[in-house]
Chain A
Amino acid sequence: EVQLVESGGAVAQPGGSLRLSCAASGFIFDDYTMHWVRQVPGKGLEWVSLITWDSDTTYYGDSVKGRFTISRDNSKNSLYLQMNSLKSEDTALYFCAKDSLVGATIGEGMDVWGLGTLVTISS
């Protein structure tokens, strides 16, 4: 079964750091670009970051650029998001998602999603 399972969400203080993880199974992880997408509860979807299959290319949304770092370990079938200098507006459910096309930087959509991990930034 194709599956993504996020972990690492927690309550953190403004200015603090968190590291999210996403464990992948059921597909050839190192064939695909992977994404992080977040959602404030009750609100819409916001793309956060992507990393290509070979880690050569990373992109970030403007709201997290310079604060968040995406990485992956293909030997462990795992995706990560290091979140620094956290702000209250980073409070959200964070999803990892698999891109749809083998070897593409960005394919035609995100065809597998995890259930998300909740990050709450509060003093």
Chain B
Amino acid sequence: DIQLTQSPSFLSASVGDRVTITCRASQDIKNYLAWYQQTPGKAPKLLIYAASNLQSGVPSRFSGSGSGTEFTLTISSLQPEDFATYYCQQLNIYPPITFGPGTKVDV
């Protein structure tokens, strides 16, 4: 199984900050990586697919990069609604499809 690790697991930030979250895969997953945002009590929301493609309707302050085993999610200027938990997900080698453990972005 592909293992995904995320760093940091917790991130303290302020409105306007530039935030970067890293996701590392235990094997080469090419660009088959997605990023999700989840706020308490809500379902996950797809932000980025194929490592760097912005999902329709997602603000342009979100961006993704990377390939192979190392990927990043960047929020260029953190907004109040961005305080949430972020998960990466690999879709290259399955089953299983795997998620990272999550990164909580908090004040």
Contacts and interface: CB of A to CB of B under 8 A. Distances in A.
A108 B49 contact: yes
Given A44-B102, A45-B87, A100-B46, A109 B55 contact: yes
A107 interface: yes
A109 B99 contact: no
Contacts of A15: none
B58 to A, nearest CB: 11
A10 interface: no
A98 to B, nearest CB: 10
Interface in B49-107: 49-50, 53, 55, 87, 89, 91, 94-102
Given A44-B101, A46-B99, A47-B97, A108 B91 contact: yes
A115 B43 contact: yes
Given A106-B91, A111-B55, A45 B44 contact: yes
Nearest to A99: B91
Interface in A65-123: 95, 100, 106-111, 113-116
Interface residues of B, number: 26
B44 A113 contact: yes
Contacts of A113: 43-45
Interface string B7-51: 000000000000000000000000010101010001111100110
Contacts of A60: 95
A109 B43 contact: no
Contacts of B95: 47, 50, 59-61
A114 B42 CA distance: 9
B99 to A, nearest CB: 4
A62 interface: yes
A78 to B, nearest CB: 18
A110 B87 contact: no
Residue of B44, B46, B96 most packed against chain A (CB within 10 A) = B96
Please provide the 4 A-B residue pairs with the shortest distance between their CB atoms, ordered closest to farther: A109-B34, A113-B43, A108-B49, A59-B95
Interface of B: 1, 32, 34, 36, 38, 42-46, 49-50, 53, 55, 87, 89, 91, 94-102
